[in-house]
Amino acid sequence: MLDKCGYPIISKETAERLGRLQKPTCSQRAKERLLEGIMADGRKTQFVLAKKWRFLIDAPFMIGSGCCHHMKISPFKKYEKETGRIAPILGTMTAESKLREQKWLKNGCNAFNAKRTVSAPISFWTDADVWSYLRQYDVPYSKIYDMGYHRTGCVFCALGAQMDKSPNRFQRLKVTHPQIWYYCMKPKEDGGLGMREILEYVGIPFE
């Protein structure tokens, strides 16, 4: 997946923009839009690649966030098609990302008129609300949260890792799951995921 879609770093939107700019086929028009915000019709958009991440365009590895599409969105779409269950109920929260906040501001908790009908009833909950609910109703939860992790997901995912407080997710992984950490950091040619090179390049500590 990493070979096909690139490494997910910084944020989904940034990884996607970087991935496009890295492609030799990226057109001049696309570059103008992604770097200067000039649209095809001459209008300006504010969605440009942040200057501080532009050095990553020349990184010696591919960047992207297409893995989310292949590993999450696409299987769900297939499931919806096969079962006819077309209105998912999601546990996403606006506190998790700017993108989720924007979606909620646009559609609310129940997006009937969006491209896809979805319900995200805890959109406006905070982490504290979730914990309070779990404790009040004695809801079982993964013990990974008691090891200091705030989120679950793909263990090597570096989206948002630059904002982690110390110890960050990779430093923590080394302590709680050293074998998985080692597999993540090992060079790809030795059968690992090659994260050491990526994190060093971006400037994210990992041990």
Please report, as ranges, the residues that interact with ligand SF4 according to CB under 6 A: 8, 65, 67-68, 71-72, 153-154, 157, 159
DSSP string, 32-74: IIIII-B-TTS-B-S----GGGGGGGG-SS-B--HHHIIIIIH
Cα 71 to chain center, whole Å? 12
Radius of gyration of the chain (CA): 19
Q: Quick one: 34 or 198, whose CB is closer to ligand SF4? A: 198
Nearer to ligand SF4, 49 or 68 (CB): 68
Q: CA torsion angle for 69, 71, 73, 77 (degrees, to 10)? A: 130
Cβ at position 42, least distance to ligand SF4 in Å: 33
Closer of 159 and 173 to ligand SF4 (Cβ): 159
CA 4 to chain CA mean position, Å: 16
Of 4 and 135, the one with the shorter C-beta distance to ligand SF4 is 4
Cβ 80 to ligand SF4 shortest distance, Å: 18
